[in-house]
Amino acid sequence: MRHRVAGRRLGRTMEHRLAMRRNMVASLFQHETISTTIEKAKEVKPFAEKLITLAKKGTLPARRRAIAQLGNRDIVDYEDGKAVRKGTVVGKLFSELGPRYLDRPGGYTRIIRLSLRRLGDNGQLVLLQLIAAEESSKKQMRKRRSRKKAKEAIKVEEIAKDQAMIEAEETEQAEEAAETEEAKDQTGQTQ
């Protein structure tokens, strides 16, 4: 029996599962989106999110833990037929991805189901993506308020409107009084 044994075996040995998880997360950090099966994506997502949370700290011990858990694979691009080293996965994680999600409390990745199935075993394919910085800022703008806070905000707005109306009425009355005094002065001068 597998009482309280978490995780999926995915038909692999422990070493193979660990290597697959590291490779998939490194590819996710490098390309920011990968296509895989839904089972693998659900297994990889928590590991990726924990590493991003570690990168948000930005300290040297956090960087060392990330290297120990993930490895420090090079990012290589091909330009003009030659391989050019662009940096490392952990370097990108700590320099770009960690600062991107500083104000986000979690949920850095998402799984999008595709209508495609794999030809060999008919496995359900999904996209595992990192959420973009624009989307995280949009969600902050749509921040929900509790009912109590919403009522308080409405009361504050009503008070501000009432004060503005009172000030407008006072200025109108002052202007009318000034006009009547001017009219009296003009009538007094004509007589």
pLDDT tens for 145-155 read 567 777 777 87
Domain boundary among 114, 133, 152: 133
Give the span between the Cα atoms of 6 and 56, in whole angstroms: 26
Give the span between the Cα atoms of 61 and 94, in whole angstroms: 12
Quote the tokens at residue 41. Answer: 């994506």
Q: Are residues 45 and 71 in the same domain?
A: yes
Pairing mode, if any, of strands 74-79 and 124-130? Answer: unpaired
Write down the pTM of the prediction.
0.70
Domain boundary among 133, 158, 173: 133
Residue 139 included in any domain: no
Q: Are residues 151 and 107 in the same domain?
A: no
Domain hosting residue 149, numbered range: 144-191
Tell me the HSE value of 60 on the side-chain side, using a 13 A CA sphere. Answer: 0
Q: Are residues 70 and 94 in the same domain?
A: yes
Q: Are residues 125 and 152 in the same domain?
A: no
Per this entry, what is the length of the chain?
Answer: 191
Number of structural domains found in the chain: 2
What is the pLDDT confidence band of residue 140, given thresholds at 50, 70 and 90?
A: low
